A and B are shown apart, each in its own frame.
Chain A
Amino acid sequence: MLHRDTVISDIAVHKPKVMAGIFAAAFVIFTLMGLKDTIFGALMAPVIGDPAEAGFSGNAATGLVLAILLTVNIVLIAFLPLRYQIGIVWLQLLLLFLTFFYSFDLKLSFIQTKIWFMITQGLFTTLYISAISIALASGLAIIGAVAKLSSNGFAFAIASFYTSFFRGIPLLMQIYLIYLGLPQLGFVIDAVPAGILALTLCYGAYMTEIFRAGIQSIDKGQWEASRSIGFGFGLTMRRIILPQSMPLIIPPTGNQFIAMLKDSSLVSVIGVWELMFLARTLGNKDFRHMEMLITAAMIYWMLTVCLELIQSRIERHYKSPQH
């Protein structure tokens, strides 16, 4: 529920039909997965005998036990306070994930030898490219938003053409076009500036729309009052409109930053040694691609979690009564 509900209804675990449904579905799915040859089958050996010879009944027995465990697990968790529920479900999903990765037979010692370089070289590059791009994109977005709201036909046409084009073609294509195309005009730019330029233009286009919406949300009276006491366009924007629209603009901008952090992986195609490039390259010599890809995935994920925490703090800050 979005807000605390005043209509009292029974929780799902108290409804026998729902629980029976979950149990039945789990039983069918686990049985069909044929788990008797996995570690679960091995644990069930005292009941079903040698897993290799157990046949369908072995699968069914394993499925039954797992379905019971799952259902009991759900019921037990449901009795806990909300905070613990969330924590425990997260923990269990995380464990499932780790088991999944563990089953790939990864070589952890290989990851250990490479992870530091991935962080100092790869993560560092990813972060600074994203940070520069988001800063430039914000500047571009303000100009774009003002232009889109202006009554000047040229300004509106150019700004809307810009947002339409750069939101309309894939970022990867923009990177290729900028890196390979700009030199045709005489501008030979290196891989890093080309990547930053592509990210800036693409995200600038998305953020133009965010800024425009933010500016438009400010009541017309604010504008009229500001103009009536003699403020010019620039002063009205800087002192009256933008400060009030910031609370609406900053949270989605944080979101854009998180998205850009991951999209910056696309600049690996032009040879920038950021996280994704290293993930593809470091494991190459020893044919350990999975290790590096998973390590990079984890680094991206942890970074995103950190940014999400910061993001929610910012949002809370702007929701507080002082604002």
Chain B
Amino acid sequence: MGIRHIFLGAALAVAGALSGATAFAGETLDQIMSSNTLKVATDPNWAPQSFLNDNNEMDGFDVDVAREIASRMGVEVEFVTPSWDIITAGNWNGRWHLSVGSMTPTTARGEILDFPGVYYYTPASAVVHNDSPYENVADLNGAKMAAGISTTFELYLQKDLTIDASGVPTFEYQITPGEYRSYETGAVALDDLRLGDGVRLNGVVGSLPAMLKAIENGYPIRVLGEPLFYEPLAIATDKGDAELNAKLSAIVDEMRNDGTLKTLSEKWYGIDYTTALN
């Protein structure tokens, strides 16, 4: 009796869903301006770029940059915190408008996301346990290495990293890992590394600022040799809104030229990472 009606309803709902599939082609910029809110995605698992501070609020370099971008657009900022692989999956559908998440503009990512502006560059380095015998980067060939999943560090270890941005020095793959593991975040990899050399890992590749922060917090690890590569880090938008990209691009340039980015970088890292490159 009633069951048939339920299934008829369900069938109609499915049909409706399929026909509605073309929705959401509107301009992201219009959406930001009309809602007066810039929704920014950032993963708070990456201190000091983005984390929860002592008051349990979003804080960090990326968060400050996002706040500044929103205020220059004249809108409120709101943060959403999907995990990193969901941000990099693209197809945001207006759930959030912008990622300020220290993302490296690789060619593969460029196919699903737009990168309106590079706002700073960080050195990527390899770290090892204090008790390990490794002296330089080349010693890590054949070692058990790790990095965060879907990061450029992972791509570097898999020798699949193409950075498509101007002003970036070229690099060579100096490490051929004997065994590679990817972790949910780089921080978890460091927790495994601290257990001791070779207990689970021999080394981790990650961003130098984050590594230095870990060492400051008493992790028994040390940085090995010179940086492996410099990664440009950009803000990202969902594919296709040229107007929004032009606006964001102008804002990032403006922030670099008037020294805002430099000030923020020095506030969070103690070093100006925004222009300097060796």
Indicate the size class of the contact surface on chain B: 35 or more
B171 within 8 A of partner (CB): no
B4 vs chain A, min Cβ distance (A) = 7
Which of A46-54, A254-262, A281-289 lies at the binding interface? A281-289
Provide the residues of chain A in CB contact with B177, threshold 8 Å: none
A111 within 8 A of partner (CB): no
A232 within 8 A of partner (CB): yes
| Complex contact B51–A284 (CB within 8 A) | yes
A164 within 8 A of partner (CB): no
Bound complex: CA of A280 vs CA of B190, how far in Å? Answer: 14
Provide the residues of chain B in CB contact with A180, threshold 8 Å: 86, 89, 91
B81-115 toward A: CB 8 Å interface, digit per residue (1/0)? 11100100101011100000000000000000000
Provide the residues of chain B in CB contact with A113, threshold 8 Å: 54
| Complex contact A184–B91 (CB within 8 A) | yes
| Complex contact A185–B18 (CB within 8 A) | yes
Provide the residues of chain A in CB contact with B86, threshold 8 Å: 176, 179-180, 269-271
| Complex contact A270–B83 (CB within 8 A) | yes
| Complex contact A187–B20 (CB within 8 A) | yes
A186 within 8 A of partner (CB): yes
Indicate the size class of the contact surface on chain A: 35 or more
Supposing A190-B95, A269-B83 touch, asked if A284 and B45 sit within 8 A by C-beta, the answer is yes
Which of A19-27, A82-90, A146-154, A309-317 lies at the binding interface? A146-154
Extra inter-chain contacts (16) besides given A152-B3, A285-B52, A287-B214, CB under 8 Å: A121-B56, A143-B6, A146-B3, A147-B3, A158-B10, A184-B91, A185-B17, A186-B17, A186-B24, A188-B95, A190-B95, A269-B83, A270-B86, A271-B86, A284-B45, A284-B187
**Interface of A toward B, CB cutoff 8 Å:** 113-114, 117, 121, 143, 146-147, 150, 152, 154-155, 158, 176, 179-180, 183-188, 190-191, 232-234, 268-271, 273, 277-278, 280-282, 284-287, 289
| 10 chain-A/chain-B pairs, Cβ below 8 angstroms | A143-B6, A146-B3, A158-B10, A185-B21, A186-B24, A188-B93, A233-B1, A280-B45, A287-B187, A287-B219
8 smallest A-B Cβ distances: which pairs?
A271-B82, A186-B20, A271-B81, A287-B217, A285-B47, A285-B51, A183-B93, A186-B23
